[in-house]
Amino acid sequence: MVRKKTIGAIEFGILSPDMIRKMSTVEVTVPETYDADGFPVEGGLMDPRMGVVDPGLRCKTCGQKMNKCPGHFGRIELVRPVIHTEYIKYVEGFLQATCAKCGRLVFSDETIEKVKKKYPPKMRFKYFVKKGAEVRKCPHCGYERPKIKFEKPYNFFEITGEEEKKIWPTEIRERFERIPDKDVEAMGFNPNKFRPEWLILTVLPVPPVTIRPSIILETGERAEDDLTHKLADIVYTNQRLKENIDAGAPQLIIEDLWDLLQYHVTTFFNNEAPGVPPSRHRSGRPLKTLVQRLKGKEGRFRYNLSGKRVNFAGRTVISPDIKISVGEVGVPQIMAEEITVPVHVTEWNIDEVKEYIKRDEYPRALYIIRPNGTRKRITPDNREDILEELAPGYIVERQVVDGDIALFNRQPSLHRVSLMAHRVRVLPGRTLRINPLANKPYNADFDGDEMNIHFVQTKDAQTESRELVAVKYNMISPRHGRILVTADEDALTGMFLLTWKDTKLTKEQAAELLYAIGITELPEPDEDGLISGKKIFSMLLPKDMNIEFPTKLCEYAKKFGYCEDCRNCDLETYVVIKDGELLKGVIDEEAIGTKGKIIHYIYRVYGPEEAERFVNRIGILSTMAIKMLGFTISYEELKIDEETKKKIEQIIEEGEKKALEYIELYKKGKLEPIPGFSEEESLELYIIQSLEEARKKVTAIVVKEKFEDFLKNPATAQGFVMIISGARGKVSNIINLVAFQGQAYVREKRPHRGFMGRVTAHFKPGDISPRARGFVKRSLREGLGMLDIFFWGMGGRIGEVDKGVSTQISGYYYRRLSNALMDVIVFPDGTLREVTNDALIAYRFGDDGMNPMAALDGKLPLDILYAKMKKLKGEKK
């Protein structure tokens, strides 16, 4: 019976010299590894008692072969002790806090007791070290303590008056030996597991050869591991030091060698220790020693232990394909041929499986696995035998085919919809294909982005993928309830153009569009024999759908007084859908965007399957429509008529003049400061305010003109179409293109640094006029001047840098937060609890108990829920 055991606790301590000797199987005394005949040297670094790395040989300690022998430690007896520099902070601490003569903590017993009561072990050490460093006289023996100076990386000095005397590790060790156990305990350590003198190494463990195997190069030469190199340095220096001491060499030479030994031991542990020059290979490459093996992204922890590589996965560049479903992923055939999926042979599918085995080409079986677990590759030679042998209970691994399920992922995987399950579509080409309407959850674009795909192997996992992880069940963002898999950018523009009031198509055009989405019937044409775009869009809607709402366009129309009574407005600003027929209104972001009424209606009333189908169809329809109707932006479109231009120029001049007036007022000292701000701050605010006011006025004029252009003929204002349909761009983009750039900002302030008292040398020092501080009067259409570009470049560059820095920092914060919250879940009673220990975190999730996924931006979409209830009621009857 297997007894399951759990780890109750882990205790950390450091090795005592006794322990190091006890675990050692060999004392290493010679720096050589192999002799001339290629045999490991006795007492060398490759002594076979430390384990075996050559296949076939047996370990001299445990008698087992390479794969069974765990490896065994050796040791180096250091002739002179050295400090373990990874613990240098503790060495310093004990030196500062204890008496060199009697070894006691330099505090009275009463103080020690008091501190022990007041602070937990971890904080006591800090306390004693900080306070102890200032104690000049030992309260126990009265010893006058000299000041102790720590010099990086590993030297200590005693300062008596002008004199500095080095404290050698031997002396440190002797002092530490005198520290009584009770004081070690008082400083927060368990003296059975930790004695301060163990921080000074007298014997060094030599790790088993198993963790530092030598490799044979193609030339037949042996190359040793970095650790072995480092150990050889230590053994060699140790031997030389010993010889020199035995020969009675001068103190200076001995001290030099001792220092060298300290250096080698230090870099053996950590070759990136601060203040220590890294030890290098002959080629100049720094050695990778113990700390380097563990630390960082490529270290043992993050690379090998937390990070595991997986099979049945692929990664390549992605490209868009509007004709596959958002729930599908296009897999290049060369990838599908490489990767298999297991099929369990049953009496019901055995004939189908046999077909795969018989085939020579692409969808074929590659391996069979017998019930006893043996695996066999299917080749033309053994095919007949395998077909004969095959029976229920066998597993056949066949190539990936259409309809298989795969997990698709793009990094950084910031939320759960960064990984979703897609159905496989095997396609020609070399890229993974994804429907562009499904790229928002992944935050993917097609400028060279790569994505990962995992072909799900077991039946359980496949079922979970299809029923829980599939795109259709994850269209709604778990954060705010918006639908992420839906039209954006060109898909919105296309739908806007198609459903605009004047858009009419010939029967041929309509047939082409509808056929592409699998509809083979045409709607009834109008009297003129043409079919309106609205009728084509209506073909996508469920026949019992009824909904009314104002469009995105209405926002603009209202602002400029074109729409007063939305419901009766003939401006297309109000959508009316009756019995699945789009009677009025243009389809834009408000209808099928991420918060779109229609898409939410379909998802929530008709369900995920219907929503997936609808999204696929609007994708194809709008893409074909935008191609058919044409979409472009012209230089001509950015022109404004002379009269408006004059008006704009005048507004800008006025704004600038007002700013200059404030500056004059300030210079005269007559500026009324804003409460809570200094005069200088107020002046900046006043200047910015006057300039931004001008911009606001210009914006109103330009947008009004563009809006009128658009109403007259949408074809002459297509850039504007992008904005009002919600596809892309903001009104400010139009202003920058058409009217003027306006004020450049560097971190929300006017550019002010760079040159002495000015931004560039083109201005007088102290000039704070709009012109000298990044106010640009020209538009992008006219073209910017040299200084204009410079001013705007300043802000742009800082923005770019900040973006990079803050995504990194916030990414790490998020990682830590989500790892910490991993096992906090909402319980059926609405409370938040930690699964692992039942701790209650909150009595009602989010105070209101609302599931953000079921709501939309924190509010319940009542109109849609009502429609759903009505439909359910109708179905019951």
Q: Is 101 in the site for Zn ion (CB under 5 A)?
A: yes
Nearer to Zn ion, 183 or 488 (CB): 183
We find the least distance from the C-beta atom of residue 116 to other proteins, in angstroms, to be 20
Stretch that binds Mg ion, among 189-197, 445-453, 459-467, 640-648 (CB under 5 A): 445-453
Q: Tell me the backbone φ, ψ of residue 83, rounded to 5 degrees.
A: -80, 140
Strand, coil or helix: what is 529? coil
From the list Mg ion, Zn ion, other proteins, none, pick the one residue 566 interacts with, judged by a Cβ distance below 5 to 8 Å according to partner type: Zn ion
Q: How many CA atoms does the CB half-sphere of 41 hold within 13 Å? A: 14
From the list other proteins, Mg ion, Zn ion, none, pick the one residue 743 interacts with, judged by a Cβ distance below 5 to 8 Å according to partner type: none
From the list other proteins, Mg ion, Zn ion, none, pick the one residue 524 interacts with, judged by a Cβ distance below 5 to 8 Å according to partner type: none
Q: Which residues have C-beta within 8 Å of that of residue 385, sequence separation ≥ 6?
A: none
| One-letter amino acid of 786 | M
We find the least distance from the C-beta atom of residue 482 to other proteins, in angstroms, to be 18
Stretch that binds Zn ion, among 133-141, 336-344, 615-623, 701-709 (CB under 5 A): 133-141
How many whole angstroms from its chain centre is CA 691?
40
Determine the size of the site formed for other proteins (CB under 8 A).
16
Kindly identify the residues of this chain, within the stretch 207-226, that bind other proteins according to CB under 8 A.
none
We find the least distance from the C-beta atom of residue 824 to other proteins, in angstroms, to be 13
From the list other proteins, Zn ion, Mg ion, none, pick the one residue 643 interacts with, judged by a Cβ distance below 5 to 8 Å according to partner type: none
Kindly identify the residues of this chain, within the stretch 531-550, that bind Zn ion according to CB under 5 A.
550
Q: Which residues have C-beta within 8 Å of that of residue 665, sequence separation ≥ 6?
A: 671
From the list Mg ion, Zn ion, other proteins, none, pick the one residue 840 interacts with, judged by a Cβ distance below 5 to 8 Å according to partner type: other proteins
Residue in 283, 848, 862, 876 binding other proteins, rule: CB under 8 A: 848
Tokens of 462: 């496949």
Kindly identify the residues of this chain, within the stretch 44-73, that bind Zn ion according to CB under 5 A.
51, 59, 61-62, 69
Nearer to Zn ion, 231 or 557 (CB): 557
Q: Is 850 in the site for other proteins (CB under 8 A)?
A: yes
Q: Is 118 in the site for other proteins (CB under 8 A)?
A: no
We find the least distance from the C-beta atom of residue 66 to Zn ion, in angstroms, to be 9
Q: Is 801 in the site for other proteins (CB under 8 A)?
A: no
Site string for Zn ion, 569-598 (x = CB under 5 A): ----x-------------------------
Q: Residue 466 pairs with which residues in a beta bridge? A: none
Q: Is 140 in the site for Zn ion (CB under 5 A)?
A: yes
**CA atoms of 284 and 297, how far apart (whole Å):** 23
Kindly identify the residues of this chain, within the stretch 804-843, that bind other proteins according to CB under 8 A.
829, 831, 833, 837-843
Q: Which residues of 3-31 are buried (b: 16+ CB within 10 A; e: fewer)?
A: eeeeeeeeeeebbbbeebbeebbbebbeb
Determine the size of the site formed for Zn ion (CB under 5 A).
17
The full DSSP string for 249-287 is: --HHHHHHHHHHHHHHHHHHH-TT-TTSPPPB-TTSPBP
Tokens of 102: 């009697």
We find the least distance from the C-beta atom of residue 735 to Zn ion, in angstroms, to be 24
Residue in 844, 851, 869, 870 binding other proteins, rule: CB under 8 A: 844
Q: Is 865 in the site for other proteins (CB under 8 A)?
A: no
Residue in 110, 361, 447, 643 binding Mg ion, rule: CB under 5 A: 447
Residue in 185, 256, 449, 548 binding Mg ion, rule: CB under 5 A: 449
41 and 47 in contact (C-beta within 8 Å)?
yes
Nearer to other proteins, 313 or 850 (CB): 850
Q: Is 724 in the site for Zn ion (CB under 5 A)?
A: no
Q: Is 553 in the site for Zn ion (CB under 5 A)?
A: no
**CA atoms of 551 and 501, how far apart (whole Å):** 14
We find the least distance from the C-beta atom of residue 226 to Zn ion, in angstroms, to be 23
Residues 659, 664, 665, CA angle at the centre, nearest 5°?
95
Stretch that binds Zn ion, among 89-97, 142-150, 328-336, 809-817 (CB under 5 A): 142-150
Q: Is 296 in the site for other proteins (CB under 8 A)?
A: no
We find the least distance from the C-beta atom of residue 118 to other proteins, in angstroms, to be 14
209-212 — which CB contacts under 8 Å span 24+ positions? 209/45, 209/46, 209/50, 209/51, 209/52, 209/53, 209/71, 210/51, 210/53, 210/69, 210/70, 210/71, 211/71
Q: Is 211 in the site for Zn ion (CB under 5 A)?
A: no
Q: What is the 3-state secondary structure (H, E, C) of 425-476?
A: EEECCCCEEECHHHCCCCCCCCCCCEEEEEECCCHHHHHHHHHHHEHHHHCE
We find the least distance from the C-beta atom of residue 623 to Mg ion, in angstroms, to be 20
If residue 742 lies in a helix (H) or strand (E), which one and from where to where?
strand 742-743
**CA atoms of 659 and 262, how far apart (whole Å):** 69
Determine the size of the site formed for Mg ion (CB under 5 A).
3
From the list Zn ion, other proteins, Mg ion, none, pick the one residue 445 interacts with, judged by a Cβ distance below 5 to 8 Å according to partner type: Mg ion
From the list Mg ion, Zn ion, other proteins, none, pick the one residue 731 interacts with, judged by a Cβ distance below 5 to 8 Å according to partner type: none
**CA atoms of 262 and 81, how far apart (whole Å):** 8
**CA atoms of 487 and 498, how far apart (whole Å):** 14
We find the least distance from the C-beta atom of residue 703 to Zn ion, in angstroms, to be 16
**CA atoms of 137 and 832, how far apart (whole Å):** 57
CA-nearest of 189, 227, 232 to 87 is 189
Kindly identify the residues of this chain, within the stretch 261-290, that bind other proteins according to CB under 8 A.
none
Strand runs labelled E in 333-435: 340-344, 365-369, 375-377, 395-399, 405-409, 419-427, 432-434
The full DSSP string for 148-209 is: EEEETTTEEEEEETTEEEEE-HHHHHHHHHTS-HHHHHHTT--TTT--GGGGEEEEEEEPPG
Stretch that binds Mg ion, among 311-319, 442-450, 525-533, 828-836 (CB under 5 A): 442-450
First to last CA, the chain: 59
From the list Mg ion, other proteins, Zn ion, none, pick the one residue 140 interacts with, judged by a Cβ distance below 5 to 8 Å according to partner type: Zn ion
Nearer to Mg ion, 115 or 453 (CB): 453
**CA atoms of 149 and 158, how far apart (whole Å):** 6
556 and 729 in contact (C-beta within 8 Å)?
no
We find the least distance from the C-beta atom of residue 838 to other proteins, in angstroms, to be 5
Q: Is 445 in the site for Mg ion (CB under 5 A)?
A: yes
**CA atoms of 822 and 416, how far apart (whole Å):** 12
Q: Is 167 in the site for other proteins (CB under 8 A)?
A: no
From the list Zn ion, other proteins, Mg ion, none, pick the one residue 138 interacts with, judged by a Cβ distance below 5 to 8 Å according to partner type: Zn ion
Nearer to other proteins, 219 or 837 (CB): 837
Sign (positive/negative) of CA torsion 344, 349, 351, 353? negative
Q: Which residues have C-beta within 8 Å of that of residue 715, sequence separation ≥ 6?
A: none
Strand, coil or helix: what is 366? strand
Nearer to Zn ion, 136 or 657 (CB): 136
From the list Zn ion, other proteins, Mg ion, none, pick the one residue 311 interacts with, judged by a Cβ distance below 5 to 8 Å according to partner type: none
Q: Is 672 in the site for other proteins (CB under 8 A)?
A: no
Q: Tell me the backbone φ, ψ of residue 836, rounded to 5 degrees.
A: -70, -30
From the list other proteins, Mg ion, Zn ion, none, pick the one residue 449 interacts with, judged by a Cβ distance below 5 to 8 Å according to partner type: Mg ion
Nearer to other proteins, 277 or 846 (CB): 846
Binding footprint of other proteins on the chain (CB under 8 A): 829, 831, 833, 837-844, 846-848, 850, 858
Residues that bind Mg ion (CB under 5 A): 445, 447, 449
Residue numbers of the site for Zn ion (CB under 5 A)?
Answer: 51, 59, 61-62, 69, 99, 101-102, 138, 140-141, 143, 550, 554, 563, 566, 573
